[in-house]
Structure 1
């Protein structure tokens, strides 16, 4: 038996990709070497445009617990600089504090409801390729077996077995600094909270803002009181004492690091309740980007394709949008019709996004390092952030909303992720995110049918859904949305531009009637 797609890795990215394929009529098999979902705390939440993507699939509410559209956050952080995003007229940055184990739980429920098989306790040990597919050697609970697939996708993390077996290079930078330490502890004695919500440590006159990075002369300190019985405390140090990476982090080691970074001697004890942050130490940063995201019938998504510092939480924003970009293209290749070069556009569109995160994650780490030179750069950077244009640009960088694909259309929305739009259809008022739940391409006439697009788009009705709606102040007369939420074509309210629409439909969804 030949499977359409085997996905290696049942983390958030692998699961979301499986869901995207299933929505498009492809039934992937997901393999994971662990016998059950890991309870290890990795990502602490979702940051950026990914929340709007998840809203398009009806997953925002079960993940965040909040109804309606994702809302921008009033404050965030970049390189230990507080970003006062409430100052912006248009704030593009969304965030939700959702632990990774909950993200995986929701996504697994989502894909199982779509009929996806998740096989845990199955480790990939080898692969063979030929012009028509990939054969994977797997060791599972029943012993060794071989699986055949038309395509293999590595979603198995920074140490990806798939990437290594495929011989895809992973160049980048490995540094010995900083050393990061984090633990979930009982609220320390002597901790005081100011009227403004900042925290004062015993013996330290400098107040620390909660839930954010604070740079000192000796490193970075973070304190986040998640509940009355538990506090997350973290430090980052450059040039500190030698670290034995084989020895687990102890609270005494973290206490000594807090003392070096802040000057405060903070008694630390295990939290009374089970915490998300078991004591963990990370030595240095590993910033790497795969040479290519596709090698024939082997593809990479998420951390298999890129690793970087976690500062600012860009990982899932990057990885889940990799999956959204790849999913519909791979499904079109398998189920058809796929225009020439569609699957290759995955590399062309997503590799530069990985490079951009590669850049800003290193920039943030550099901005937090101790030393007078960094202090001088921070003084200048702080002046620049005082200007709303610069603040907005950094917010868009962190959100990923500054990403624009080349879709050969001059409209200002073309190539961008579709904005939040509400319109009225025959079924009543609806958000575009609600129309996108099927994962199918959408052609949306926001003029109430005045552009008369049904005839010109008839050749694609088997694969593109036409929606006619009224929008009081439409940002465009009509929009052609790809399944990943990006605008493939748009036109002004008074201009049908049927030639441009026809070209976009052929470019992204194949020839009419095929």
Structure 2
């Protein structure tokens, strides 16, 4: 029997599997697609953006260089080998409702508790690249991956979960559903899935244009919808505000895509050939909880929304990072009471916020007699320093805040990448998936207290290049600050909340 079965070998499922295996759990991944490299994951249809928060996550697990190489992106390792203490201004920003924003308008002074890091910027990648890196990592840690095994039945009791897939029966202690927006695990396990119905049908395709000059690059909002051309050859995206009524079970023919494109663009553009095509909607739904007994959900299995702003993959990676260490600690018997329940408590509000962010963009882009006035107003607001900074905070993935109760303002936020005088960085100390206590003054009482969590926490002491006025910081395995201060008693309370002390 495996400790965990993960349904789905996409980025989220593979990341969860890798986190569990890193902690010594036995993991089986079941994937319904027999092809490890489906064409829809490759460029151009597989184009995705990793925000700065996701890049930071890969850095914290030692995967940043591999991810950058697979994505064809040279990552500038800001501050990695220098004495810099100031965070550089953002170089790139996302968009809001197709309206590009200038990184120069971000008020960096309003972005507290940041430090230079090798992972400062997001970058473009593909689902294929992300999946390949994570699959290699998972396999190297002993994860077993079975392809061509679609889940068809799920049952559970107080002790285990039974999964039927590909005609085989697999028992495990836990099941994590990472099987996408049409999740079979979600349906079979009886999760409530609630939200809003779609306003548009979206299309993404790789085509050959007879006359591409008729369609300018970038986002193009029109009276009938939106179309997007990227520099990738033949890459086309469209939003048709039809109420989501297109029958997505029908094949996407050249004639249909050309008709939609002509109506939206107001041109007589000709599509010579359609090589690949897929459709989607802006249906925005979320499960009311991310756990039901011994079954948990992550990624699109737990929440779906339109791809506007490129938040879906990043949201799923955040789920995986939050869930992995908590489930592993539960399996190993070293989790404090209620640790696994904090997964829903922390990640559900983040997901709900992303769904609303997506809905707001769709509402701004929807055609209608009042649409130009609304878009002009939003455009003006977004171009102010406050508006641009708001978008950066919402989309960079660096500023999520989990409510951990009272304490230091940094508690519940992603930890700055503190760097010791010897060059050791917090990101380096998180590679093995353990919590870290950073003690910048080598306090004897804190060091003594940390001994109670040997094997749960890595203790690191010494002066830092910039400690932001802090004496000591307790960081969870997912890089979130659990405590900051200098008092032994409050440290012990925080440590006991997240890390069960070894038996005497």
Q: Same fold (TM over 0.5)?
A: yes
Give the CA deviation at 1:145. 2.9
Are 2:160 and 2:172, in contact at CA under 8 Å, matched by a contact in 1?
yes
Q: Which residue of 2 aligns with 1:280?
A: 278
Note if 1:378 corresponds to 2:371. no
Structure 1 unpaired stretches of 5+:
192-200, 203-207
Are 1:47 and 1:399, in contact at CA under 8 Å, matched by a contact in 2?
no
Q: Which residue of 1 aligns with 2:85?
A: none
Which of 154, 157, 165 is the matching residue for 1:130? 157
Q: Take 2:150 and 2:493, find their aligned partners in 1: how far apart are those partners?
A: 44
Change (3 A) 1:430 1:265: farther
What RMSD over aligned residues (CA atoms) do the two structures have, in Å? 2.4
Q: Which residue of 1 aligns with 2:220?
A: 214
Q: Take 1:383 and 1:287, find their aligned partners in 2: how far apart are those partners?
A: 27
Which of 292, 308, 314 is the matching residue for 2:311? 314
Q: Which residue of 2 aligns with 1:254?
A: 257
Give the CA deviation at 1:451. 6.7
Show CA shifts across 1:229-256 (max 9, x none). Answer: x231222122499845444323443333
TM, length-normalised to structure 2: 0.88
Q: Take 2:249 and 2:266, find their aligned partners in 1: how far apart are those partners?
A: 27
Which of 242, 265, 269 is the matching residue for 2:268? 265
Q: Which residue of 1 aligns with 2:170?
A: 147
Give the CA deviation at 1:369. 1.0
Note if 1:458 corresponds to 2:451. yes
Give the CA deviation at 1:56. 0.7
Q: Take 1:242 and 1:329, find their aligned partners in 2: how far apart are those partners?
A: 41
Which of 92, 96, 99 is the matching residue for 1:78? 96
Are 1:182 and 1:281, in contact at CA under 8 Å, matched by a contact in 2?
yes
Show CA shifts across 1:146-173 (max 9, x none). Answer: 2221111111111211111111111122
Are 1:61 and 1:68, in contact at CA under 8 Å, matched by a contact in 2?
no
Q: Which residue of 2 aligns with 1:505?
A: 495
Which of 41, 56, 60 is the matching residue for 1:56? 60
Which of 126, 132, 145 is the matching residue for 1:105? 132
Q: Which residue of 2 aligns with 1:198?
A: none
Q: Take 1:297 and 1:106, find their aligned partners in 2: how far apart are those partners?
A: 28
Q: Which residue of 2 aligns with 1:232?
A: 235
Q: Take 2:293 and 2:319, find their aligned partners in 1: how far apart are those partners?
A: 17
Q: Take 2:245 and 2:185, find their aligned partners in 1: how far apart are those partners?
A: 34
Q: Which residue of 1 aligns with 2:48?
A: 45
Q: How does 1:398-409 map to 2 (within 5 A)?
A: 398-409=395-406
Deviating beyond 6 angstroms after TM superposition, the runs of 4 or more aligned structure 1 residues are: none
Give the CA deviation at 1:452. 5.6
Give the CA deviation at 1:67. 3.9
What secondary structure does 1:397 align onto? helix
Structure 2 unpaired stretches of 5+:
79-87, 115-119
Which of 168, 172, 181 is the matching residue for 1:158? 181
Change (3 A) 1:240 1:165: closer
Show CA shifts across 1:478-512 (max 9, x none). Answer: 21111111111112xxxx22121111110000236
Q: Take 1:360 and 1:242, find their aligned partners in 2: how far apart are those partners?
A: 23
Give the CA deviation at 1:383. 2.3
Are 2:30 and 2:165, in contact at CA under 8 Å, matched by a contact in 1?
no
TM, length-normalised to structure 1: 0.86
Q: Take 2:316 and 2:212, find their aligned partners in 1: how far apart are those partners?
A: 41
Q: Take 2:209 and 2:429, find their aligned partners in 1: how far apart are those partners?
A: 46
Q: Take 1:246 and 1:322, find their aligned partners in 2: how far apart are those partners?
A: 30
Show CA shifts across 1:453-491 (max 9, x none). Answer: 311211112210011232232123221111111111112
Q: Take 1:488 and 1:506, find their aligned partners in 2: how far apart are those partners?
A: 11
Q: Take 2:243 and 2:476, find their aligned partners in 1: how far apart are those partners?
A: 49
Are 2:12 and 2:298, in contact at CA under 8 Å, matched by a contact in 1?
yes
Show CA shifts across 1:418-466 (max 9, x none). Answer: 1233332xxx31332122111111111234x257631121111221001
Show CA shifts across 1:397-432 (max 9, x none). Answer: 1223332112235222111011233332xxx31332
Change (3 A) 1:486 1:370: same
Q: How does 1:358-507 map to 2 (within 5 A)?
A: 358-424=355-421, 428-447=422-441, 449-450=442-443, 453-475=446-468, 476-491=470-485, 496-507=486-497
What secondary structure does 1:279 align onto? strand
What secondary structure does 2:420 align onto? strand
Q: How does 1:294-305 map to 2 (within 5 A)?
A: 294-305=291-302
Are 1:80 and 1:367, in contact at CA under 8 Å, matched by a contact in 2?
no
Q: Take 1:366 and 1:500, find their aligned partners in 2: how far apart are those partners?
A: 46
